[in-house]
Amino acid sequence: MAVRYDWETIRAEFEAGATMGTLSRRHGVNKAAISRRARKEGWTADLTDVVNRRAEAKVNGTVNAVDPQKKAAAVEAAAARKAAVISEQREAWGGFKSEVRAALDANDFDRLKCLKIASEALRNAQECERKAWGIQDKAETEVSGGLSITWEK
């Protein structure tokens, strides 16, 4: 009878950085067999996604949250923080828009020049903030049911 190996686990451990030698000893599989399977299925040992997910979990406080209620609370808190960032950014542009209208009404072109420079600085700061929070601009998303958030550049 042929020996069956847990290839899903072997692949997961390989993609998380385990060497073929370690996997061979741990699972009793020949290194050549692991190598053939990895090549055939296109396994990659790129840890970028794994590290990013782990870091996001640590930032959001969901790392060791086995209790579903604790995990849900941590996810809700992280979503609330991101929503607060988005709301704050929208409010900043709302106030900025009022300043531009007032300067236009007063024909204050010096003020408009300053506002143009300020708008570029605000846009750059907000782009950096959005990157730091992992907020991505999308025209439409499946999750939002078509609700879109558009940021003009």
Number of domains into which the chain is organized: 2
Write out the two tokens for 54: 């782990």
- Domain match, 127 and 67 both: yes
How far is residue 139's CA from residue 137's CA, in Å, rounded to a whole number? 7
Domain around 30? 7-41
- Domain match, 35 and 86 both: no
Would you write out the chain's pLDDT as a tens digit for each of its 153 residues?
567 888 888 888 887 778 889 899 999 999 999 999 989 988 887 666 666 777 777 776 666 655 677 777 777 877 888 888 889 998 998 888 999 999 999 999 999 999 999 999 999 999 998 888 778 776 434 444 555 445 544
Task: Kindly state whether residue 78 falls inside one of the protein's structural domains.
Answer: yes
- Domain match, 83 and 20 both: no
Measured CA to CA in angstroms, residue 38 lies from 12, 21, 49, 73, 140 at distances of 11, 13, 18, 39, 36
- Domain match, 81 and 21 both: no
- Domain match, 37 and 101 both: no
**Which residues contact residue 144 at a Cβ distance below 8 angstroms, ignoring those fewer than 6 apart?**
none
pTM as predicted? 0.48
* C-alpha 152: how far from chain center: 21
Task: Kindly state whether residue 138 falls inside one of the protein's structural domains.
Answer: no
- Domain match, 59 and 107 both: yes
DSSP symbols for the chain: -PPP--HHHHHHHHHTT--HHHHHHHHT--HHHHHHHHHHHT-----HHHHHHHHHHHHHT-TT--SHHHHHHHHHHHHHHHHHHHHHHHHHHHHHHHHHHHHHHTT-HHHHHHHHHHHHHHHHHHHHHHHHHT----S--TTTTT-------
Task: Kindly state whether residue 47 falls inside one of the protein's structural domains.
Answer: no
Write out the two tokens for 20: 């073929």
Task: Kindly state whether residue 144 falls inside one of the protein's structural domains.
Answer: no
